[in-house]
Amino acid sequence: MMREDIGRVVLVGTGAVGTSFAYAMLNQGITEELVLIDINEKKAEGEAMDLNHGVPFASSSTKIWKGSYADCGYADVVVITAGAPQKPGETRLDLVEKNAKIFKSMIGEIMNSGFNGIFVIASNPVDILTYVTWKYSGLPKEQVIGSGTILDTGRFRYMLGNYFGIDSRNVHAYIMGEHGDTEFPVWSHAFIGTKSLAKYMDGHPSYKKSDLDDIFVNVRDAAYDIIERKGATHFGIGMGLTRLVKAILKDENSIQTVAAYLNGEYGHSDVYIGVPAIINRQGIREIIELELSAEEKEKMNHSVKVLKETMAPVL
């Protein structure tokens, strides 16, 4: 059930990522209603109270409360950040079995409410748990979206902008593939403004290809570096999720690198993986199929292979 007259977003999971998302949503005034759900009901209630006390200082009024799965019936978007967290030294794929079990019961309860909106999944391993959500929900593939490589792409653009001394909002580049160790940079479609990165570097000989390789390694390993220092990553992904939900609710038709279901695109099917896609009120309107280089195609194939092999025992 969806109501055009009012926007309701339900957040499942009030841990560090969930509350960072809720805080960004409140500050940007993106939805009229924000419902918080957590297995720890007191935690959800406390977060709702704390956020509500900031409403007088926000750009617009948002009604926030601790809710239940029944509140998903009228939700436009359900964002899931719940699940076992990634521990130091643990890869995102290590989390598969633990979180797949959690998701099975959670998705069932959400669907029992009559929910027919858009799922946005952020829990790791996000590509696999997005697929799990699609399978368990029975919703069309367009209505189930994973955060995919939206954060990795944000990190990529930030680090490239920092290196070249260019506003990161004018750096156009993508990280594709699994949100994890097999992700890869799409150098063949990286631009500084309207100029390809390769041509831009030709005119600036002080910039080196080896530096770009180091930047990608820093992007790929950023989560491990941050977790080692502060225990979790949550502000960046909270902002990324807010950007994605805004694109949905505002019917933006904007391009975001999300975990989308491939049905022949890039030569693959039956997998959710990070690709550029057009996002609007219906969810994923269209996958943007870039013409990848031979090396990039090989990396995409490898990423799909790893995801499918990891997912197979669970499903």
Catalytic residues: 179
What amino acid is encoded at 214 in this protein? D
Task: Please give the full DSSP string across 90-145, using - where no structure is assigned.
Answer: --GGGGHHHHHHHHHHHHHHHHHTT--SEEEE-SSSHHHHHHHHHHHH---GGGEE
Measured CA to CA, the distance from residue 120 to residue 142 in angstroms comes to: 11
Nearest to 194 by CA among 172, 214, 175, 165: 172
Per-residue burial over 53-82, b if 16 or more Cβ lie within 10 Å, else e, is eeeeeeeeebebebbebebbbbbbbbbbbb
Helix (H) or strand (E) holding 21: helix 16-28
Measured CA to CA, the distance from residue 73 to residue 304 in angstroms comes to: 34
Measured CA to CA, the distance from residue 285 to residue 281 in angstroms comes to: 9
Q: Rounded to 5 degrees, what are φ and ψ at 14? A: -110, 40
Measured CA to CA, the distance from residue 43 to residue 274 in angstroms comes to: 32
Tokens of 295: 């090396």
Angle, vertex CA 43, rays to CA 52 and CA 249, nearest 5: 55
Q: SS3 helix, strand, coil % of the chain, rounded to 5?
A: 50, 20, 30
Distances from the Cα of 127 to the Cα of 184, 217, 232, angstroms: 15, 20, 19
